[in-house]
Structure 1
Amino acid sequence: MAARLRRVAACLTATLSATLLMFVLGVGIGPVPALGRALAPGGGVWPSAAGARLPHSQALRIPGLTGTAEVSFTSSGMASVQASNDHDLFLAQGYVTARNRLTQMDLERRLGEGRLAQLQGSSAVASDTFELRLGLERTARAEWAATAPGSPAGQALTAYAQGVNDRLAELHSTHEWPAIYGLTGVHPARWTPVDSMVVQEVLTQQLDFTTAPLDYSILQKSLGAADTARWFPVQPANAQQPYDPGPYHYLGTDPLAAANANAAAVPATSSAAPTTAAATTSTTTADAAAAAVSILSGTASLPDDLRHIHPDSNAWAVNGSALRGGVSLLAGDPHLQLSLPSYWYEVSLRSPGFDVTGASLPGMPAILLGHNAHISWSLTDVQNQSTLFYKERTSSSHPDEYFWRGAWRPLQKVHYTIPVRGASSVPLTVNLTVHGPIMTEKGQTTSVDWMGDIPSADLSALLSVNTASDWGGFTKALREWRAPTQNFVYADDQGHIGIIAPGYYPLVRSGKPWLPLSGTGESDISGTIPFAAVPKTYDPPGHVVATANQRPVGANYPYYIGTSQGFDPGYRADEIYGSLDGTTQDGSSGSAALQSSVTDSLARSIVPRLLSALDGTSLDARSRSVRTMLAGWNGSMDASSPAASVWWTFWGTYLSTVFQPWWDEAKVPVSLDPWNLDLGHAPGPLVEDLEQWTLHDPTNAAFASPGSTTPNAPAAMRAAFTKTVDSLTKQLGNDPADWTWGRLHQRKIPSLTGAAALGYGPFPAGGDPWTPNAADDGMVSDFGPSWRMTVTWTGPGQSTAKAIYPGGQSEDPASPWYQNLIPLWWDGRYLPLRTAAEQSRDGTSSGDVRWTLRPER
């Protein structure tokens, strides 16, 4: 019934989308202002209705092409591009992507370049200010300056930009602009290679930029250093399943290949050394906390996904005896903030130099996740600590200077003017130190040294991955990958599997990098982990490799890569390894089932302890029925399961029962960063602690409220169980059989505009943050699998690939391709992930739409 209701709702949405779009633009919702006079026929939004029409077979003249290119679309909207040379391939990719995702691409570059307010008005000034300080555009310009125009990356970026600009030229001619431009009168500027690099930088920020040292600073001020170290340790308290278990070898350090693009150059001369008093000025805990508050307030102005918070992605590969019906298998489902349109644009690319298919990032050439004729790959986030904060020494007697390595140095200043639609422009000056941009001068002047601000040749690496044919070529290509640090999961047509995690892992000379570091020089970055020593595994004897954002290495790994706060607690990895180890997988069908699994392995380990704690206690009739329900539960967080509601409510209550008294006594300011400080969000390290103590240390001192001397885990569990039953009775009624998880827990896929009418859901849904089919971000989850893919290799050059994502190929809400893939994704169904040759062959019989792109006369 629930599935049928979702299908009916989706059908109604498709039917009414044009009407809804007109309503939204007429009244203004979210960041989209009211349309006003632009609603008039003959201008404004009316021409954008062309975007709702499905394409038809035709020939098009495209400036910049050197030969003919062919583009085809399946009935579901999947695109395939074939060209006689690489230049035309990437030009056509840029053109086709812009035909379907121009607004999304423009919003992404505006976000990274600090120009959202030009389109959205004053509400976006805070976001623009933060991004201009952080410096994504400065980094992108440095990356482009370091890219040789004749290199493969330089040629691909130039051709892609030409294709986007060909689409912009068409729109200037036809005036059939996407609705938001007709509404605001602000049209997209020409696309440049720097814009593509900014789009990549935005994704890097989403995956790599954290505020962990600021949170640790606040925790240490509130809880004290001892409890912060015990409860938020470097190494996780619970058992982990690293995909690289060692043995490890310390191989020294490598220097960073380039300087932080947003750091001040060290001047040849500097001011005289300060007096002893000035040089030894110390930072108070209050000053550090004030700085943390200021920076965290800035991150609050960003979209939810622009600071890495949710550690949810899965990927695995199997071979040998672990696989039936093939020589190797790859499965990947990166988890991100869900949105309409999606992060991904599915496309296959074929030219003399490329034959690759998968998920592309709108705004960037090439394929980020997918397969070619011989290898397949997917990604999860390593989540090493890529963000360091520095306490800069400044003095009123040395204005516009900072103290570093024995001398006062001049701040480098970068000046901006933020254009604001409907209001005056806002001036902004960004100060840079040798570490990076100063993010605040409140309390303690604090700068950030973020690995995403170091120029790197990621696109060059990705292009080489797209054309690699074996593990050697794959890993050679990834030597150039710098940020974000990623687990690249691999399987090939020869039956080999592996994972490697390239990128910059910053190592400091001294100090605790999980706290703000001294900026006077002694705690600067000394280097990075050598490529030969990064986490990796290849053809392990167990025939299974898996990563689900768990810590990739064991406690004896000789390099620092971050604390327990940065990595997933490991329950998805436990479930994946538990499902794959010692079993034989039935190709893509088994992996698809595992990608859709809503089994919570933490529940399966903790619930027996809860049942044991309840033994011998006096329970009323309702509590007894709840206990019986839990005793027969398999740990699956199905939407129809009442036991799932009990488990989730119990675990949150149990966590609060144990830690809230300590939080209250310490007055932890959870409002400064609810995602990492508020117990309601179940901070990962505390979840790990509580699991470990419950199973192995039930008399840990934390179970006693402050001042008590009788710590006892079973007592805390019994108290939490009683509160759980009372709470669910009040929320869901007297009959526990009616306490289904779907009544508490839903999923939604919001529109990028923020307009609820243009999103999907919310609908009752299964899963939680720790199930393979993860559902994070609260009881109405908008975070989960953004792309699901399986590739089964059956022999040399032979594969069967399937994929799906929650959205559609078009960004136009009136298009049948706006959300047509969501019902398939929701139900765990897939579509063929076809190569260009397969689409060309199969499309002839299925009647695919075909464009012939020819050079302009």
Structure 2
Amino acid sequence: MLTTLLRAALGLLLVLLLALLTGVLYVRSQTLPQLSGTLKVTGLNAETTITRDRYGIPHIRASHDEDAIYALGLVHAQDRAWQLNFQRRIAQGRLAEVLGPAALEQDRFLRTWGFQRAAESALEALSPQSRQLIAAYTAGVNAGFALCKTAPEFMILGYRPEPWTDVDSVAWSKLMSFDLGGNWKQELSNWELCRAGGVQSLTGVTPPYPASGPTILSVDELPATAPAGPGKHPAAYPTAACPADLTGAHLGELRRQLAAAQRLGMEFEASRSSNNWVVSGQHTASGKPLLADDPHLKLQSPMLWYLAEVQGERLHAIGATIPGLPAVVIGRNERVAWGVTNHNPDVQDLFVLPPDAPVQTRQEIIRVRGGEDVQLTLEQSEYGPVVSPVGGGLQGEELAKSTRLALSWPTLMNGDTTLDAFLGVNFAQNWDEFRSAMRHYVAPSQSFVYADVDGNTGYIAPGRVPVRRGWDGSLPAPADAQHRWTGWVPFGQLPQTFNPADGLVVTANNRSVPQEYPWPLTNDRDWADPYRAARITERLQGKGGLTLDDMAAVQNDTLSGPWREMKAALLSTPRAGLSREAAAALDRLSGWDGELGTDSASATVFEWWLAELKAQGRQTFGQEPSTRGVAVALAAGGALCGPTASQTVGSSCTGLLARTLEAAVQQAARRPYGEVHQALSTHGAFGEIQALAPLFNALIPAPGGSDTVNVARPDREDGTLHFTHAASYRQLIDLSDPDASRFTGSLGQSGNPFSPHARDQLRGWAAGEYLPMSTDPADWGRTRVLHLKPVSEQPAP
């Protein structure tokens, strides 16, 4: 009897496994694109080839630039159809149409800010050449949509993507600008701190950038100032009272919008941004420059970036593209290489509008799958969109009598020609052409490092940076004549240098200019902590004979700068009264070298201890302090350490240190770092659905931590130290031998979880390895070739 039941159970299991396998094979057959052979497509001028290497990276060869960009659109659609469509729906505020009521708050936020409307105005401002290339890209995407059978996400949700439009390519750049510019969030946080403890309470969360901290430019590299600037931001926050005419309704509405943005993976953090640097030939073994870049962004599935080579008649670039954009965003062409990090000047301001301020209103309808349509009344002021109160805020007559908050931000203003800049960079052949392209750059302001095959190096931080006179933009400001923007920092006065004498430019979201710079960029507390910039500079400055291997070692550096700064304070924790486990952990830390490797148990204790200290800061201030905010408090005593804090660690912080160490040890329990510290890449739609998350999300142990060069700041949630922001892309470029250059993404080329290229870069990325960034077929390994042939459009019968 038992044998019969066992056989029946095994038989049922076999049937279920067979059904599962059949389902998987069916989904694969319906969703994986054609990667070899011949395809006849409309909208192409001449035959074009797409050769995918062993990692699925396409190498496009065309005789026309428009055809090359067309093919880029087609491969984006083949490999990332869902990503294209999801990004487009985010920009449009149309997620609820396919995801239902759960996405309604996101749509409210996106419609309120008006990203799609801003994209429509930006498209009109672009040059004819850019419009032509964007049109070619659109045709390629739509050809890809027509050829692709579907994507797994479309099968699950039961719909197919709408045709791509030119404005869709501009719209995603607007969302990237939001992700890379969070000063409105900082103003909101400052406002909350100010309400709770006065202006002076701001210092405990984000101390000023240290006077000894590295700056990107030195004094002798500053541009000549003519005419003189209006004066830099003050080094300290203003001493005036906090804004009194803001209410809980404003605060609640903006917090809802911030929560909606966070659910979309859009949350700017200066400490989670990026590194890049360039060293001239005076420091390298080859005598030619080396350039490195690794933008730190939200880890997502599929990954944000799509690696590609694009060659047409004049265009020949290779590097990281973003599905939806018709250009190589970070990379090189045959003569010029560039890298990008976030500059983060203060380009956003919340203005308090008086009740009688004139506004224009418009009505929009949000379609909701499985629910009733929602009508929004949206307002536009002369300062920008009215972002509070709306939706869940005040209504009717009460709204008419209340103050409103409007947002000023170059990204949402007319005349954004940033795509002209990125397309121009792809064609640039020297510094003059590169800099000329940068003149069209609007937002988000970025730190570009530059190198070329002639041996030149450079740096420039383009973009529209508003000029404020007599105020610093750290708190919401009244909408009056005194607080209006009075123009932009002139292009020639923006931070920039060409062939600096020391042959080194390092950027890590640190302060870009010394105190002598006469133009307002941002408050001293808005720069990222200097740990990464200091460590990169330490490893490169004054060195000679540098190679790409040296650059890779720096890019993957995991020595903890915060540990080096806090070590003395942390190790001063008295052993008396500690548990046996905590005392043992403290002893191990005393001999720890500060390397945040996956095998280290001390790394686990330290990062958890730091997380506990920040959690204490959240309880004390209402917000989590920066890493340096913790370090400064431990060094000098302060509110973080308790009400009896004085100027000595021993008398003010010992209780805090002991308490947080005990909490950290309870969690760490001698576990190796890689067991609890893992990179989590999440899917935008299905990442939190238990049944689908294992298929669409990715998780892998990885080194690094808070403010290491190889950034992997733990989020400390669900009993882990998993992290969701890191180096989303890495590149190393050798201008003496460009085809010896290297790059890698964080997951893989395909967004289809059933593709062999969905995650085939993940393990190498976590281990600090790279792929060949080569235009030479000898470096591509096994290839598949797809031939695109033009066909005339046939009239409908």
Q: Same fold (TM over 0.5)?
A: yes
> In 2 relative to 1, CA 190–452 (structure 1 residues): closer, same or farther, beyond 3 Å?
same
The reply on whether 1:154 has 2:131 as its aligned counterpart is yes
For the 8 Å contact 2:604–2:668, the answer to whether it is kept is no
- 2:722 corresponds, among 780, 783, 799, to 780
- 1:453 corresponds, among 399, 403, 412, to 412
The reply on whether 1:178 has 2:118 as its aligned counterpart is no
What is the CA–CA distance in structure 2 between the aligned matches of 1:237 and 1:842, rounded to whole Å?
46
> In 2 relative to 1, CA 237–138 (structure 1 residues): closer, same or farther, beyond 3 Å?
same
TM-score by length of 2: 0.87
Identity of aligned residues (%): 25
Q: Deviations over 1:568-626 (max 9, x none)?
A: 11111111111111223542111112222211112113213444x35897977655543
Q: Which residue of the partner structure matches residue 5 of structure 1?
A: none
> In 2 relative to 1, CA 725–18 (structure 1 residues): closer, same or farther, beyond 3 Å?
farther
Q: Equivalent residue of 1:196, what SS? A: helix
Task: Point out the more displaced range, 578-587 or 473-482.
Answer: 578-587
RMSD: 2.9
For the 8 Å contact 2:634–2:641, the answer to whether it is kept is no
Q: Which residue of the partner structure matches residue 30 of structure 2?
A: 50
For the 8 Å contact 2:645–2:651, the answer to whether it is kept is no
Aligned partner letter, 2:83: Q
> In 2 relative to 1, CA 482–750 (structure 1 residues): closer, same or farther, beyond 3 Å?
same
The reply on whether 1:854 has 2:796 as its aligned counterpart is no
Pairing 1:427-442 to 2, within 5 Å after superposition: 427-441=375-389, 442=393
For the 8 Å contact 1:133–1:437, the answer to whether it is kept is yes
The reply on whether 1:571 has 2:531 as its aligned counterpart is yes
- 1:790 corresponds, among 708, 732, 756, to 732
Q: Which residue of the partner structure matches residue 274 of structure 1?
A: none
What is the CA–CA distance in structure 2 between the aligned matches of 1:17 and 1:88, rounded to whole Å?
44
What is the CA–CA distance in structure 2 between the aligned matches of 1:203 and 1:21, rounded to whole Å?
39
Task: Point out the more displaced range, 116-125 or 556-565.
Answer: 556-565
Q: Which residue of the partner structure matches residue 250 of structure 2?
A: 291
- 1:832 corresponds, among 772, 777, 797, to 772
Q: Which residue of the partner structure matches residue 364 of structure 1?
A: 325
Pairing 1:639-650 to 2, within 5 Å after superposition: 639-650=598-609
Q: Equivalent residue of 1:108, what SS? A: helix
Aligned residues, how many? 739
What is the CA–CA distance in structure 2 between the aligned matches of 1:179 and 1:83, rounded to whole Å?
31
For the 8 Å contact 1:572–1:601, the answer to whether it is kept is yes
1:351 Cα deviation after fit: 1.2
Pairing 1:332-347 to 2, within 5 Å after superposition: 332-347=293-308
Q: Deviations over 1:289-310 (max 9, x none)?
A: 5413311212212235323225
Aligned partner letter, 2:409: W
- 1:222 corresponds, among 184, 187, 196, to 196
Q: Equivalent residue of 2:103, what SS? A: helix
For the 8 Å contact 1:326–1:587, the answer to whether it is kept is no
What is the CA–CA distance in structure 2 between the aligned matches of 1:614 and 1:630, rounded to whole Å?
12
Q: Equivalent residue of 1:157, what SS? A: helix
Pairing 1:191-202 to 2, within 5 Å after superposition: 191-202=164-175
The reply on whether 1:713 has 2:690 as its aligned counterpart is no
- 1:770 corresponds, among 707, 711, 715, to 707
What is the CA–CA distance in structure 2 between the aligned matches of 1:854 and 1:633, rounded to whole Å?
61
Q: Which residue of the partner structure matches residue 495 of structure 1?
A: 455
- 1:757 corresponds, among 689, 694, 712, to 694
> In 2 relative to 1, CA 716–744 (structure 1 residues): closer, same or farther, beyond 3 Å?
farther
Q: Which residue of the partner structure matches residue 105 of structure 1?
A: 84
Q: Which residue of the partner structure matches residue 636 of structure 1?
A: 595
Q: Which residue of the partner structure matches residue 373 of structure 2?
A: 425
Pairing 1:256-655 to 2, within 5 Å after superposition: 285=244, 287-302=246-261, 303-310=263-270, 311-394=272-355, 402-403=356-357, 409=358, 411-441=359-389, 442=393, 444-454=403-413, 455-584=415-544, 586-611=546-571, 613=572, 625-654=584-613
> In 2 relative to 1, CA 741–823 (structure 1 residues): closer, same or farther, beyond 3 Å?
closer
Q: Deviations over 1:194-240 (max 9, x none)?
A: 0000111111111124421111111101011223257545x424632
What is the CA–CA distance in structure 2 between the aligned matches of 1:478 and 1:132, rounded to whole Å?
30
Task: Point out the more displaced range, 473-482 or 454-463.
Answer: 454-463
Q: Equivalent residue of 1:130, what SS? A: helix
For the 8 Å contact 1:326–1:793, the answer to whether it is kept is no
Q: Deviations over 1:401-431 (max 9, x none)?
A: x33xxxxx3x211221111112222111211
Q: Which runs of 5+ in 1 are unaligned?
A: 1-15, 24-44, 256-281, 395-401, 404-408, 671-676
What is the CA–CA distance in structure 2 between the aligned matches of 1:533 and 1:766, rounded to whole Å?
39
Q: Deviations over 1:685-718 (max 9, x none)?
A: xx334434655xx3x5547633x37442234453
Q: Deviations over 1:798-856 (max 9, x none)?
A: 55211111111111111111111111111111111122xx23x655xx45211111111
> In 2 relative to 1, CA 61–323 (structure 1 residues): closer, same or farther, beyond 3 Å?
same
What is the CA–CA distance in structure 1 between the aligned matches of 2:36 and 2:641, rounded to whole Å?
71
TM-score by length of 1: 0.81
Aligned partner letter, 1:714: G
The reply on whether 1:167 has 2:104 as its aligned counterpart is no
What is the CA–CA distance in structure 1 between the aligned matches of 2:108 and 2:629, rounded to whole Å?
38
1:61 Cα deviation after fit: 0.7
For the 8 Å contact 1:83–1:350, the answer to whether it is kept is yes
Pairing 1:2-151 to 2, within 5 Å after superposition: 49-52=29-32, 55-148=34-127, 151=128
Task: Point out the more displaced range, 245-254 or 477-486.
Answer: 245-254
Q: Which residue of the partner structure matches residue 672 of structure 2?
A: 740
Q: Deviations over 1:619-650 (max 9, x none)?
A: 77655543442232211111221222332233
Aligned partner letter, 1:424: E
> In 2 relative to 1, CA 17–242 (structure 1 residues): closer, same or farther, beyond 3 Å?
farther
Aligned partner letter, 1:219: L
Task: Point out the more displaced range, 101-110 or 186-195.
Answer: 186-195
For the 8 Å contact 1:596–1:773, the answer to whether it is kept is yes
> In 2 relative to 1, CA 430–596 (structure 1 residues): closer, same or farther, beyond 3 Å?
same
What is the CA–CA distance in structure 1 between the aligned matches of 2:228 and 2:167, rounded to whole Å?
31
1:22 Cα deviation after fit: 6.2
For the 8 Å contact 1:331–1:378, the answer to whether it is kept is yes
1:746 Cα deviation after fit: 2.3
1:52 Cα deviation after fit: 3.3
For the 8 Å contact 1:221–1:289, the answer to whether it is kept is no
For the 8 Å contact 1:212–1:565, the answer to whether it is kept is no
What is the CA–CA distance in structure 1 between the aligned matches of 2:18 and 2:297, rounded to whole Å?
25
For the 8 Å contact 1:653–1:720, the answer to whether it is kept is no
> In 2 relative to 1, CA 729–417 (structure 1 residues): closer, same or farther, beyond 3 Å?
closer
What is the CA–CA distance in structure 2 between the aligned matches of 1:815 and 1:112, rounded to whole Å?
27
Aligned partner letter, 2:202: T
Q: Which residue of the partner structure matches residue 726 of structure 1?
A: 662
Q: Equivalent residue of 2:740, what SS? A: strand
For the 8 Å contact 2:739–2:774, the answer to whether it is kept is no
Q: Equivalent residue of 1:506, what SS? A: coil
> In 2 relative to 1, CA 824–556 (structure 1 residues): closer, same or farther, beyond 3 Å?
same
Aligned partner letter, 2:658: T
> In 2 relative to 1, CA 287–852 (structure 1 residues): closer, same or farther, beyond 3 Å?
same
For the 8 Å contact 1:52–1:816, the answer to whether it is kept is no
Q: Which residue of the partner structure matches residue 272 of structure 1?
A: none
> In 2 relative to 1, CA 21–569 (structure 1 residues): closer, same or farther, beyond 3 Å?
farther
Q: Equivalent residue of 2:70, what SS? A: helix
What is the CA–CA distance in structure 1 between the aligned matches of 2:58 and 2:575, rounded to whole Å?
63
Aligned partner letter, 1:809: Q
For the 8 Å contact 2:182–2:269, the answer to whether it is kept is no
Task: Point out the more displaced range, 504-513 or 328-337.
Answer: 504-513
1:433 Cα deviation after fit: 0.5
What is the CA–CA distance in structure 2 between the aligned matches of 1:392 and 1:639, rounded to whole Å?
52
Q: Equivalent residue of 1:110, what SS? A: helix
